[in-house]
Amino acid sequence: MMINELKYTLILFVIFLLSGYIFHKIKSREIKNIEVPHFLSRIASFLGLVVIITFVLGITMAVITVVKLLG
């Protein structure tokens, strides 16, 4: 049975990957000078923040999970 910390770590990892993928797709359109609607640009800005937050939380949860499994 998985411990709760491991579940949360996996959920954060999935959110990190999905938001990073969508962020990359939107920003790559901007780099290629393809017109990007304003709302997509705003979504990309929000997803950039989500990527940073989930990365930090994911690392923290991974450390907590490892400490709990070892100790």
> Using CA atoms, how far apart are residues 21 and 24, in angstroms rounded to an integer?
5
Three-state DSSP class for 64? helix
pLDDT at 19: 94
Token pair belonging to 51: 């990527």
For the chain, counts of helices (H) and of strands (E): 2, 0
pLDDT in tens, the chain (71 residues): 568 888 888 899 999 999 999 999 988 988 888 888 888 889 989 999 999 999 999 999 989 888 988 88
> Using CA atoms, how far apart are residues 40 and 58, in angstroms rounded to an integer?
26
> Using CA atoms, how far apart are residues 20 and 15, in angstroms rounded to an integer?
8
CB–CB of 51/20 below 8 Å? yes
pLDDT at 20: 92
